Amino acid sequence: MLFLIAGMAVSCNVNNKMEKISLDNEIDSVSYSLGVSAGSYYLKQGFDTINTEAFYLGFKSAIKKMELQCSEEESNAILQAFFQKASEAKYDDVKKEGEDFLKENAGKEGVVTLPSGLQYKIIKEGTGAKPQLTDKVKVHYHGTLIDGTVFDSSVDRGEPISFPVNGVIAGWTEALQLMPVGSKWKLFIPYNLAYGERGAGQQIGPFSTLVFEVELLDIEK
């Protein structure tokens, strides 16, 4: 079947086994192509069991400015909740792996588990002051995933780093306020006290439990 779009002849084949619709003019062809584009996109997102009748009615109601069964705000909230649930389900194995790791780790000698879920083990106990929330500290650290993959390390770079106590992930903020200067602790941080459901960069995926060795060198003035 041939039709014109912006002066170009375009061929569109309709499979005889599928439903047909006339594509004899530009707006019909564009409309059908928008449907193909939307359908292909959502199929790739995993919507292979979508209710096409409900989808069409929602699309038609919005584009024709008809009365909506769900407002645009309610629809956005429904979609956000659905995608959140789907995202979490996708990473169920990662979450369980982290939970199992922390559960086993909690029983190891010297490991302390705090009410927040943060775990730590003292490698070296310092004798200096403990930082406050608004202090700036200087530290050396070595960060890995629970499988030992290194994702960041000031130790490997040979250069410590300075930052505000309240300017880092929650697990660090909590631990630093408990550490006297001169201490070196190993931290085991559940995902909700690390980078959460989004992860960070290419190596820290969503819902990742992290392990850090942190040495508190100084509280900077």
Q: How many helices (H) and strands (E) does the chain have?
A: 6, 9
The mean of the pLDDT values for the chain is 89
Which positions are annotated as active-site residues?
141, 151-152, 169, 195, 212
Q: Are 20 and 1 in contact (CB under 8 A)?
A: no
pLDDT tens for 207-218 read 999 999 999 999
Residue 111 pLDDT > 90: yes
Question: Residue 123: which region, alpha, beta or left (left: phi > 0; alpha: psi -120 to 50)?
Answer: alpha
pTM: 0.68
Residue 46 pLDDT > 80: no
Q: Are 219 and 105 in contact (CB under 8 A)?
A: no
pLDDT tens for 74-98 read 999 998 898 878 777 888 999 999 9
Alpha helical stretches, state H, 128-191: 154-157, 170-176
- 52, 51, 37, 42: which is closest to 83 by C-alpha? 42
Residue 17 pLDDT > 60: no
Residue 193 pLDDT > 90: yes
* Cβ neighbours of 42 (radius 10 Å): 13
DSSP state of 148: -
Give Cβ neighbours of residue 114 (< 8 Å, ≥ 6 apart).
Answer: 120, 174
Q: Which domains does the chain have, with CATH numbers?
A: 2-69 (no CATH), 92-220 (3.10.50.40)
Element (H, E) at 164: strand 161-164
pLDDT (0 to 100) of residue 180 = 98
